[in-house]
């Protein structure tokens, strides 16, 4: 590793197909930048977080373009096995974000990840938009009921992506042109892919055929998720990007729009992004390291539960409807806790 002029460690000096250079800032440089970020959060009235594959690498899910990323390894002819999402646990970043949402520091999360780790960390579905779907979510096309399962609902049907953390690269048709919000259609663009899971909706008088929510390559993003994400984007005065290369629309367009509207854009990513020059603050560091320090700056000293992997699966699937009332969500978490050991994670800085 070599040193850059700003004191960051350079993790890779090579560029190749599917591989990009990573810089990692640490020590006084990192702490100073996180203090700046904390001040922006304090001054913000409506902050939105945009998350990509980089927040889940600590959980064991590879990203796209890093030195050990899916596209990097595939370019070398290596086979990348999909992780078992059901055995992976939310990271420190996921839990800190949940606490920030609960305390009102941030108001909404827009994610490209299908790993369900935001949900499993305790962030209610009404506080997030999953632009590429959720591996454990199946929906009813007739009544819009939503069911969260303890397993991958698309297993045995079709592989949703060669990238196991996010859905395949979305068509650039999702990018915005100018300042207008895109109006997306729910109609699937790829008609020869069957999303049906083989289960029926349990809502009274419905019995619709449930479908996987994961967006496959070439398909439209779900209009409801996209439109909700844009609604919160246009309210935001602070956009915090975590672990995203910002190269896929419309996910890259949303935080950029916050900057266009006069808000602040902050990017946390090991790799450089096309939007670094437009950002008020760029931090090249691991998401867990940044969120650990940010939690300290914002006096988030509480202990937080962390699910520890267990080989036991839930005895029964838990179906949670779209309204995601607190009672429903508490019940869902209790089901998970019966199946996973619980430990506490301190957000104090590592020594």
Convert the pLDDT of each residue in 132-168 to its tens digit. Answer: 988 878 889 889 888 888 777 865 444 433 333 443 3
Q: What letter would DSSP give residue 64?
A: S
* pLDDT of 50 strictly over 90: yes
Q: Which residues have C-beta within 8 Å of that of residue 327, sequence separation ≥ 6? A: none
Q: How far apart (Å, rounded) are the C-alpha atoms in residues 208 and 27?
A: 55
Q: What is the model's pLDDT at position 209?
A: 86
Q: What's the pLDDT band for 67 if we cut at 50, 70, 90?
A: very low
Considering only residues 338 and 124, tell me which one the structure prediction assigns the higher pLDDT.
124
Q: Is residue 4 part of a domain?
A: no
Q: Which residues are catalytic?
A: 132
User: Does some domain include residue 58?
Assistant: yes
201 is in an annotated binding site: yes
Counting every residue written for the chain, the total comes to 351
Structural domain includes residue 14: no
- pLDDT band at residue 7 using 50, 70 and 90 as cut-offs: low
pLDDT band at 84 (very low <50, low <70, confident <90, very high): low
| pLDDT score at 116 | 85
Q: Is residue 193 in some structural domain?
A: yes
Tens-place pLDDT, residues 258-286: 999 999 999 999 999 999 999 999 999 99
140 is in an annotated binding site: yes
Of the two residues 59 and 124, the one the predictor is more confident about is 124
Domain range spanning residue 166?
A: 21-345
Q: What is the pLDDT of residues 196-238, one digit of tens each?
A: 888 889 898 898 889 887 887 778 888 999 999 999 999 999 9
What pLDDT does 82 receive?
Answer: 62
Is residue 128 situated within a structural domain?
yes
Categorize the per-residue pLDDT at 38 as very low, low, confident or very high, splitting at 50, 70 and 90.
Answer: very high
Q: Which residues are CB-neighbours of 121 under 8 A, at least 6 positions away?
A: 90, 94, 95, 97, 98
Would you say 328 is a known binding-site residue? no
| Structural domain count of the chain | 1
What's the CATH number where 313 sits? Answer: 3.40.50.1220
Q: Name every residue whose Cβ is closer than 8 Å to that of residue 280 and which is 6 or more positions away in sequence.
A: 40, 259, 264, 265, 266
Task: List b or e across 111-131, with b for residues whose CB sees 16 or more CB atoms inside 10 angstroms.
Answer: bbbbbbbbbbbbbbbebbbbb
Q: Poorest-confidence range of 35-44, 99-108, 151-160, 263-272?
A: 151-160
**Mean pLDDT score across all residues of the chain:** 72
Instruction: Decide if 137 is inside a domain.
Output: yes
* Residue 206 annotated as part of some ligand binding site: yes
In this structure, what token pair is assigned to residue 283? 């931090």
Tokens standing for residue 275: 């939007």
Across 86-107, average pLDDT: 90
Give yes or no for residue 73 having a pLDDT over 70: no
How much is the pLDDT for 159? Answer: 41
Whether residue 351 is contained in a domain is answered as no
In a domain, 11, yes or no: no
pLDDT at 21 over 90: no
Q: Are 188 and 197 in contact (CB under 8 A)?
A: no
């Amino acid at each position: 590793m070599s040193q850059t002029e700003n004191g960051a460690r350079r993790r890779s000096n090579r560029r190749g197909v599917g591989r990009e250079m990573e810089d990692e800032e640490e020590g006084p440089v990192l702490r100073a930048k996180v203090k700046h970020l904390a001040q922006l959060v304090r001054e913000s009235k409506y902050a939105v977080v945009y998350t990509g594959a980089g927040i889940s690498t600590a959980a064991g899910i590879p990203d796209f373009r890093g030195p050990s990323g899916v596209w990097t390894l595939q370019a070398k002819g290596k086979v990348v096995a999909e992780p078992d999402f059901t055995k992976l646990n939310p990271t420190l970043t996921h839990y800190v974000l949940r606490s920030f949402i609960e305390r009102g520091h941030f108001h909404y999360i827009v994610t490209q990840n299908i790993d369900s780790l935001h949900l499993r960390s305790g962030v209610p579905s009404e506080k997030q938009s999953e632009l590429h779907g959720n591996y454990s979510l199946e929906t009813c096309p007739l009544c819009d009921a939503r069911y969260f399962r303890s397993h991958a609902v698309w297993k045995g049907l079709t592989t949703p992506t060669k990238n196991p953390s996010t859905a395949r690269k979305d068509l650039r048709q999702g990018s915005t042109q100018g300042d207008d919000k895109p109006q997306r259609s729910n109609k699937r663009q790829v008609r020869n892919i069957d999303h049906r899971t083989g289960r029926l909706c349990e809502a009274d008088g419905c019995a619709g055929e449930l479908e996987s929510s994961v967006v496959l390559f070439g398909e439209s993003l779900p209009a409801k998720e996209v439109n909700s994400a844009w609604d919160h984007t246009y309210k935001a005065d602070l956009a915090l990007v975590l672990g995203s290369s910002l190269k896929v629309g419309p996910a890259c367009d949303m935080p950029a729009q916050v900057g266009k509207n006069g808000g602040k854009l902050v990017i946390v990513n090991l790799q450089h992004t096309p939007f670094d020059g437009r950002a008020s603050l760029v931090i090249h560091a691991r998401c867990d390291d940044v969120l650990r320090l940010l939690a300290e700056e914002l006096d988030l000293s509480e202990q937080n539960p962390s699910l520890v992997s267990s080989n036991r699966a839930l005895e029964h699937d838990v179906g949670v409807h779209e309204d995601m009332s607190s009672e429903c969500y508490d019940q869902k978490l209790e089901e998970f806790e019966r199946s996973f050991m619980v430990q506490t994670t301190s957000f104090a800085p590592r020594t």
